[in-house]
Chain A
């Protein structure tokens, strides 16, 4: 039994981690080494003496070439990364603020048919982006928001509201009501009690919610590629657009870019590790 357990663990961990390890190795290759038909996975400092060995010459050129503009794209990786950062941060701030406010209302105040409203909020998350994108596109054309940072940030804000509201409601419900009742006795108004007593208690929850909103905006692709195909293109839309590149895929640069793109997510996953279960189940399952 012990052996089986370790085998399952090693197999599972390798399956999860090897593709990412390979990404790191591929980012150090020249294009020739990346598309060489025989296996090469040992980075060496100089050119390998035997061309059929498992060694390849490690180089940083892929990272240097990230500023190149590839065929079929309009800008370099860095400018797309900047779009991702701007849109991700803007939408995270907005959805956390609006979602927290909404969750405060549902958690602490009397609202008629609160449960129905909450389920309505959750149900918006199930909407396939492609099913609502045409009306949004037409709306954005009229408002001149197509291909702008603001337009996509606004859309992601709404897209993440369900997540932010549900996650925050879970966190807020755990804060004992005695705290604010004490504050009310001390002469605080209801709003003051929420702002000065309840919100500071929810710091961790707010941080966790922000991480999940940021990741979900960072990774989003459907809206990004349909609405922002011309301007403010985020990294996922840029990368997927390279598919079927006529010049041949610039694999080392893709690996290097993808690695830089996913590295912050790996860090955030580690930081939020105690709350991952909540995050992926909209706060409905608590660890």
Chain B
């Protein structure tokens, strides 16, 4: 085994993947950055350098600040609700019982499905006139709102679909956290006659927190990109539900303004990169703690 051979092997194994990633991620990003200083359009050539005009427009555009606020609200509500509901479900699932694997797997199915397909299909459930949700509400003598067309309501309906899809994710991570707590800690607490709430607050929560933090960061970066559900339910140009990604789609593909869209994308990216950096740092620290 010679050292020279090993270097060749390393190169052969690692470079194809890294090269592809650079070609399809780093290069487009730089290209995007360049485009954002031009007035390029989707059809036709003749892009001109326009300096920071696109950025000036992004920051003065009420559409952008609206989408930014809406996306932030969506991320906070979605991640918060999913965390609470998922954690509650995990607490209920903690003890062993017959058929647990089946229950768990069934409950986890939504997170594996296609958001675009399920978003479209949820339109049938939430339809104001013939949707099953309103039919059931009607049978119970309750109000039957127009879930997906009412201006004040559709944002929350999309949030509901997101909660349906991603609560399982939080439940699965929470369950892993709960099951990793050694039983002897609980036994010790029992001997000390600690109350249920004290046990939860002083033992369960602190020990699960690192894992929950990881789940929250992962979900947040994902929710920040929210695109599929909005496209499949209300479309890209609905003022009440427009997120950063759908606004970007509208600007580039419907209005054809590539230059302006690229500026939007760059601003979005700054936020994404910031979150991703937090995530990788967090992961690094978590792994360091594990190794110790």
A residues touching B (Cβ–Cβ < 8 Å)?
4-6, 8-9, 12-13, 15-17, 19-20, 22-23, 26, 34-39, 41, 98-99, 101-102, 104-106, 109-111, 115, 117, 119-124, 126-136, 138-139, 155, 157-158, 161-162, 165, 184, 189-191, 194, 215, 218-219, 221-222, 225-226, 235-237, 239-240, 242-244, 249, 251, 254-255, 258, 261-262, 265-266, 268-270, 273, 276-277, 280-281, 284-285, 287
Contacts and interface: CB of A to CB of B under 8 A. Distances in A.
Contact of A127 (B10, B25, B92, B258): B25
Nearest to B265: A131
A15 B125 CA distance: 13
B133 to A, nearest CB: 10
Secondary structure at the A interface, as helix, strand, loop or mixed, is helix
B124 A34 contact: yes
Contacts of A221: 114-116, 227-228, 231-232
Interface string B7-35: 00110111011101101110111011001
B98 to A, nearest CB: 13
Nearest to B130: A35
Contact of B132 (A17, A22, A101, A191): A22
A225 B280 contact: no
Given A39-B135, A129-B227, 5 more contacts: A105-B9, A121-B17, A184-B1, A235-B117, A281-B173
10 contacts: A26-B124, A36-B130, A119-B280, A122-B280, A123-B273, A130-B252, A132-B25, A161-B21, A191-B9, A261-B117
B172 interface: yes
Nearest to A279: B112
A166 to B, nearest CB: 10
B225 interface: yes
A243 B237 CA distance: 13
Query: Interface residues of B toward A: which range?
Result: 35 or more
A50 to B, nearest CB: 16
B172 A277 contact: yes
Contacts of B276: 123, 126
B17 A19 contact: no
Contacts of A277: 172-173, 176
B224 to A, nearest CB: 8
B113 A265 contact: yes
Given A34-B124, A126-B279, A135 B113 contact: no
A13 B102 CA distance: 11
B67 interface: no
Contacts of A132: 24-25, 28-29, 32, 265
A32 to B, nearest CB: 10
Nearest to A242: B120
A240 B234 CA distance: 10
A7 to B, nearest CB: 8
A222 B109 contact: no
Nearest to B177: A285
B283 interface: yes
Contacts of A235: 114, 117
B6 interface: yes
A130 B114 contact: no
B268 interface: yes
A248 B122 CA distance: 16
A90 B228 CA distance: 23
Contact of A124 (B25, B101, B115): B25
Contact of A98 (B16, B172, B218, B235): B16
Contact of A128 (B21, B164, B225): B225
Nearest to B224: A128
Given A189-B1, A221-B227, A284-B214, A16 B109 contact: yes
A117 B11 CA distance: 13
A119 to B, nearest CB: 5
A124 B110 CA distance: 25
B123 interface: yes
